[in-house]
Structure 1
C-alpha cells in the first residue's frame, strides 16, 4: 500500500458531475481549500493485499452476524440504547432474517498488518457513488491497464435479483433535510441498479410518504401502496418519529432496505460485543461499554457515541496527557463505547480510512477517505485507488 500523486484530468469537475457526483461541491463545509473528490492523489495496492482484505472483511461480516444473534438470543438490546417499544420488533426482524442489501466497514489499515475495525456503517452507508462509479471511470481514464477493488455495481444489480419482494414497485426515499444532495444521488444510483435488475421503481421524498389510516398502510403521492422501501433515513430516527409505530407495525407486510435488525450492526455498541465474543481477534480493537477499563492506563481510548455520525461528539484520551481531541456534536444521550485508540496511519501528512463494502454477505469494493486530523469527519476528502502488480 502506498500513496501516489497523479495529474488531475482536464475538466475533472464536470466529468464527475456527469457521473453522478453532483454533490461534490456541497459535500464539504465552506472554506476548505481541498476538494471533496481529490484525484491529484490515490492509493496503490497489490493484489495480494486486496485478496487478504477481502477475506478479512467477509470474516468481520460473519462475526457481526454472529454478534447480532448473540444480542437477540441473550436479550441485550438495551445495551444498544434501543427504545423498549421497538426491541421486540428488532429481535423479530433478525429472527426472520429480513433481507438486506449492503453495508460499509470503516477500517484502519497501513499495509503492514491486519486491518482493524473502526465501525460498521450497516444501515445508511454513503460514499457509494464515489466508490462504485466515479473512481472506476477515473481508473479507466488514467490507469487503464490497472485493476481496482470494485465489483460494487455488478454485485448490487445481481443482489437485487436475488431478493424476494412484495408485488408493486420498490420505492426509493430520500429526505428533503439533506441539503448537500448526497442522499438523493446515492438513492438515485441504488434505484438505477435495481432497475437494471429488472425491478420497477419509484422515487419519493420521506416527507411525502403518507399514512392511510383506514387501510393501515403507507402510500406515496400517487396513493400507491408502498410495499418495498429503500431508504437512507436511519432507523433510530424513524422509530422516534410520529410515524415510527406504523413503521414497526409494517415490518411483516413491507420489505425495508435496510431491515430493522440493522439497528444492531449500525450501532457502535457492536464493537464492545464483538470484543467480548472474539477477544484478541487480529481485526478488532479492544472496546467496552460503561467505561474504558484498562485502556485508560495503557494505550488510551477513543470515546464514541453509540449513534454518532461524521466523527461528531467524540473524545480521544491518552495516558498521562489526558484529553487530546474533542469534537463537537449533540450525540451521546444514547451512551458511549470506549475503543482502544490507535491513530490512523500517516501518509504524507494525511490519514486514510478504508471504507470496505459488503453487498449481501460478500466483499464488494473499496472507497478511501482522507483527513489531516485524528478523527475522520465531514472535512475528509475521497481519493481513488488502483491495484498494480
Structure 2
C-alpha cells in the first residue's frame, strides 16, 4: 500500500463533470483529487475483500440476534421503527448496498471504523469516476471495482413488485449525484425509475403516490431511516404496500451501535475493535462516536499526552458509543479511510477518502486507486 503522486489530467474538471460529478471542487479546493493515488498489491485487495465479506455475514447475524432478543432499546432503535424492522425482516426483504469503512495500513488486519448500511454516498465517484480515471491514466492496470456491474445485477435479484419505481432524496448535490447514478443503473437493468423529491411523495389514503398520483410500488430513498421514522407520514408506512429500499431492518446496521453488537458477537475478531456503550468498558485511548452521527461530526479522539481531538456538530447530546482507538496510517500528513462497497451482500469495490485530520469529516477528499502487478 503506497500513496503516489500523480499528474492530474489537464481537463480533469470537464472529464468528471461529464460523468455527473458536478461537485468536484469545494471552495476552489478539489474534492476529487487525482493529484495522488494509492497502489495496492493483489494480496492487500484480497485482504480487504475478505474482511468486508466476513463482516457482512457477521452484521446480518447481529441484526438477527437483536430482533430475536427484542433488544431494540439498548441499540437506540426508535419505537416507531420496530414493527417496520420486524415486518421487513420477516418478509426476507434483501438489502441493496453498503460501505464498510476501514483503517488499513497494508500490514495489520483491516479494522472496522463504521458501516454505512443505509445511505452511503460517494458511490458515483467510486464506481464510475475512478474507473474512468484508471482507463485514462493507467490503462494497463486493474482496480478493485466491479461496483457498476454488481449494481445492475442486484436490481434483478431484488424481485421488485410490478408498478412504478420511485427514487427519492432531498435537494443535496452529493445525494442527488448518488441517486441519479443509481437510477441509471436501474435503467440499465431494464427498469423504469422516476425521481420523486421526498417532499413530493403523496398519500392518497391507501398508498404512497408519485407525481402522477400513481401508487408507488417500490421506493428507493436516499434518506436515513432514523430520520424517516420521525416524519409524520411514517405512520402510513405499515398501511401501504410500497416496497422500501433499503428495507427498514437496515436501521439495525447503520447506527454506531452495530460496532457494539459485532464486538459482543465476535470479541477478538481480527477485523473488529473493542466497542461498548460506556467508556469504562474500553481502555484508553478511545474514540467517542455519536450513535447516529454523520461525517465525523462530534467524534472525539483521545490523544494521550495532548488535548483530545474533536469535530463540532449537531450530535453532541446523542447517546454515544466508545471504541478502542486505531490510529489511521499517515501518508505525507494525510489520513486515509478505506471504504469497501458491498452490493447484494458481496464486496465489490474500494474507495478512499483522505483528510488532514485523523477524523474523516465532510471536507475530506476522494482519491483513486489501482492494483500493482
Common topology (TM > 0.5): yes
- Residue 291 of structure 1: CA displacement? 2.6
> Using the alignment, how far apart are the partners of 1:247 and 1:101 within structure 2?
19
- Residue 70 of structure 1: CA displacement? 0.9
Q: 1:8 and 1:320, CA in 2 relative to 1: closer, same or farther beyond 3 A?
A: closer
Matches within 5 A, 1:333-348: 333-348=317-332
Alignment of 1:190 with 2:190, yes or no, is no
The equivalent residue for 1:63 is: 58
Q: Is the 8 A contact 1:54 1:363 kept in 2?
A: yes
Q: 1:333 and 1:84, CA in 2 relative to 1: closer, same or farther beyond 3 A?
A: farther
Q: Is the 8 A contact 2:275 2:282 kept in 1?
A: no
The equivalent residue for 2:41 is: 46
> Using the alignment, how far apart are the partners of 1:332 and 1:244 within structure 2?
26
Alignment of 1:243 with 2:233, yes or no, is yes
TM-score (normalised: structure 1): 0.93
Matches within 5 A, 1:8-23: 8-23=8-23
- Residue 290 of structure 1: CA displacement? 2.7
Show CA shifts across 1:133-155 (max 9, x none). 00001000000000000000000
Show CA shifts across 1:66-99 (max 9, x none). 1101111111111221122321321232232212
Show CA shifts across 1:211-233 (max 9, x none). 112xx211111111111001111
The equivalent residue for 2:214 is: 224
Count of aligned pairs? 373
Q: Is the 8 A contact 2:282 2:322 kept in 1?
A: no
Matches within 5 A, 1:232-311: 232-250=222-240, 253-296=241-284, 300-311=285-296
Show CA shifts across 1:156-183 (max 9, x none). 001111121111121111212x2xx111
Unaligned runs of 5+ residues in structure 1 are none
- Residue 248 of structure 1: CA displacement? 4.0
Q: Is the 8 A contact 2:23 2:31 kept in 1?
A: no
Alignment of 1:371 with 2:355, yes or no, is yes
Q: Is the 8 A contact 1:350 1:370 kept in 2?
A: yes
The equivalent residue for 1:384 is: 368
The equivalent residue for 1:5 is: 5
> Using the alignment, how far apart are the partners of 1:24 and 1:294 within structure 2?
39
Q: Is the 8 A contact 2:81 2:229 kept in 1?
A: yes
The equivalent residue for 1:118 is: 113
Matches within 5 A, 1:68-79: 68-79=63-74
SS at match of 1:310: coil
Alignment of 1:106 with 2:91, yes or no, is no
Q: Is the 8 A contact 2:336 2:353 kept in 1?
A: yes
SS at match of 1:370: strand
Q: Is the 8 A contact 2:81 2:248 kept in 1?
A: no
Q: Is the 8 A contact 1:307 1:332 kept in 2?
A: no
The equivalent residue for 1:166 is: 161
Q: Which moved more, 1:328-337 or 1:5-14?
A: 328-337
TM-score (normalised: structure 2): 0.97
> Using the alignment, how far apart are the partners of 2:163 and 2:278 within structure 1?
46
Q: Which moved more, 1:365-374 or 1:97-106?
A: 97-106
Q: Is the 8 A contact 2:256 2:321 kept in 1?
A: yes
Q: Is the 8 A contact 1:308 1:332 kept in 2?
A: no
Q: 1:195 and 1:50, CA in 2 relative to 1: closer, same or farther beyond 3 A?
A: same
Q: Is the 8 A contact 1:169 1:199 kept in 2?
A: no
Compute the RMSD of aligned alpha carbons: 1.3
> Using the alignment, how far apart are the partners of 1:248 and 1:16 within structure 2?
41
> Using the alignment, how far apart are the partners of 1:353 and 1:292 within structure 2?
27
Q: 1:166 and 1:332, CA in 2 relative to 1: closer, same or farther beyond 3 A?
A: farther
- Residue 294 of structure 1: CA displacement? 3.9
Q: Is the 8 A contact 1:239 1:247 kept in 2?
A: no
Q: Is the 8 A contact 1:343 1:374 kept in 2?
A: yes
- Residue 63 of structure 1: CA displacement? 0.5
Following superposition, which runs of at least 4 residues in structure 1 exceed 3 angstroms of deviation?
318-321
